[in-house]
Amino acid sequence: MRVQRSLWLALGAVVWLACGGGGAWDVAALAAQNPALGREAARRLGEATPYLLPLHGQLTLFLCRWRLTDPLLVSLPSDASPRERALLDRALRAWQQALPELRFEQVLAGAPAQLEIRFDADDPSRTATTAAECGVAVGAQGQPAQLDAGLVKAHVALRRAALDWRDDVQLLSDEELLGSALHELGHALGYQGHARHGLTVMLRSVDDVRRAGRRLLAGAPFADMALAALYSVPSGSVVGRLQLGAARTGELDRLAALAQRGRFAGPYVRVGDESARIVWRGPDGAAFGFFLPRVREVLREPERLELLPTAGTLALLRSEAPH
């Protein structure tokens, strides 16, 4: 199971998120703590899918973005044509304009990068995907208003082609590729899920995304309300806590304790449209953790939370169980 989000899936169609934030989490409290956050901007944040941490009988919902202490190292695809490279450069420059507090630094393809952009296998029936991983320092149990959390790694896999309404393969035009890159970079910068309205490229509609690419090509300045809002509040801001009961997070709590004893790195959380994943990494880099399927349903009805162990996790827990 991969955590991924679809952009070109419903080509040309307008599809909105069924729920998008709402009841599960409290944007009003976030706005009260951050007076600089305007009402509209708070609303855009309210439409994002928050990052989730199920631990000690609670599901903590929080926001995660890149920290601003160091430049963000970005690599472009090694196989990009000059045209594709120019469009991706343009998308990065646009985000630099929209988020001046972030500093992008391009590294050579293949060099270590925190944000890696590549073209995925040429299968036009698949969709552009982004995974943005948030590293969380799990401290003592309690109810802090802010977690020690920040993005640590993001991958953007772009498509060069998509299927049109007749299922014919169409290479993406300049405005489509630029729009797609802008949108996926928005996910890579920490905005998960989609906004319903507003001046943002994080809308779900492919038409809106294409239009953003067209505007930028025409020389319009680029601004994004949703991401500006995300970067105006601290990374790790807690936006909700849902009570689950201790039994619901038992296995994950055991893994967290084991990870602490074994000095595993993590946890690292990813959130997609469909599912989320939380893992720790052992000394040899192997990941152990759980998938959380049906994230949006869980946000509405926390009792539907299910934790599905990733490969090797149960064996690790069994090997450490008291005999």
CB of 269 to Zn ion, least distance (A): 18
**Site size for Zn ion (CB under 5 A):** 1
CA distance 74 to 148: 23
Kindly state the helix (H) or strand (E) to which residue 45 belongs, with its residue range: helix 39-46
| Nearer of residues 6 and 34 to Zn ion, judged by Cβ | 6
Does 267 sit behind a cis peptide bond, omega within 30 degrees of 0 on the bond before it?
yes
Cβ of residue 226: shortest distance to Zn ion, in angstroms?
Answer: 11
- Taking CB under 5 A as the binding criterion, the range among 1-9, 103-111, 155-163, 298-306 that sits at the site for Zn ion is 1-9
Query: What length is written for the chain?
Result: 323
Q: Does 5 bind Zn ion (CB under 5 A)?
A: yes
Q: How far is the CB of 194 from Zn ion (least distance, A)?
A: 6
In this structure, the strands spanning 275-281 and 265-271 are antiparallel
Strand boundaries in 180-318, DSSP class E? 238-243, 265-271, 275-281, 287-293, 308-309
Window contacting Zn ion (CB under 5 A); options: 2-10, 137-145, 300-308, 309-317: 2-10
Query: Between 54 and 179, whose beta carbon lies closer to Zn ion?
Result: 179
Angle CA 269–69–109, to nearest 5: 70
Least spacing, CB of residue 249 vs Zn ion, in Å: 29
Question: Nearest 5°: phi and psi at 258?
Answer: -65, -40
Spatial CA neighbour of 192 closest among 285, 292, 81: 292
Helices (H), 53-157: 82-98
With contacts defined by CB under 5 A, name the span among 5-13, 48-56, 76-84, 228-236 that binds Zn ion.
5-13
Element (H, E) at 253: helix 250-261
- Shortest Cβ distance from residue 48 to Zn ion (Å)? 11
Give the Cα separation of 58 and 114 in Å (integer). 30
213 to 242: interface string for Zn ion, x by CB under 5 A: ------------------------------
Q: In the range 274-303, which residues lie near Zn ion by CB under 5 A?
A: none
Minimal CB distance residue for Zn ion = 5
Which residues within the stretch 154-183 sit at the binding site for Zn ion (CB under 5 A)? none
Q: How far is the CB of 192 from Zn ion (least distance, A)?
A: 8
Residue 185 CB, nearest distance to Zn ion (Å)?
11
Nearer to Zn ion among residue 5 and residue 160 (C-beta): 5
Which residue ranges make up the site for Zn ion (CB under 5 A)? 5
